[in-house]
Amino acid sequence: MKRDIILSGVGGQGILSIATIIGDAAMNKGMFIKQAEVHGMSQRGGDVHSHLRISDEQIASDLIGIGCADLIISMEPMEALRYKPSLKKGGWIVTSKTPFVNIPNYPDVEKIYEELRKIGNVILVDAEEIAKANQMSRSVNMILLGAAADALGLDVKTLSESVARIFGAKGKEIVEMNVRALQLGAEQK
On the question of pLDDT at 41 being above 60, the answer is no
Please say if the pLDDT value at position 15 is more than 90: no
Range of the domain at 90: 2-101+119-186
Indicate whether 78 belongs to any domain.
Answer: yes
Instruction: Report in angstroms the alpha-carbon separations of 133 from 51, 64, 70, 130, 143.
Output: 31, 36, 31, 5, 12
| 75-126 pLDDT per residue, tens | 999 999 999 999 999 999 999 998 888 778 888 999 999 999 999 899 999 9
**Looking at the 3D structure of the chain, how many domains does it have?**
1
79 domain residue, yes or no: yes
pLDDT reported for residue 121: 95
- Report helix, strand and coil shares of the chain as percent, to nearest 5: 45, 25, 30
- Domain annotation covers residue 7: yes
Nearest one of 115, 57, 56, 108 to 84, comparing CA atoms: 115
CATH number for the domain spanning 160: value is: 3.40.920.10
Residue 106 is assigned to a structural domain of this protein: no
- Taking only the tens place, the pLDDT of each residue in 50-83 is 899 999 999 988 899 999 999 999 999 999 999 9
Q: Which are the contacts of 33, defined by CB distance < 8 A and separation ≥ 6?
A: 23, 26, 27, 52, 53, 54, 59
160 within 8 A of 179, measured Cβ to Cβ: yes
The predicted model scores a pTM of: 0.91
Residue 176 placed within a domain:
yes
For residue 109, tell me if it sits in a domain: no
Residue 81 lies in a domain: yes
Torsion (CA) 2, 185, 87, 153 in degrees, nearest 10: 10
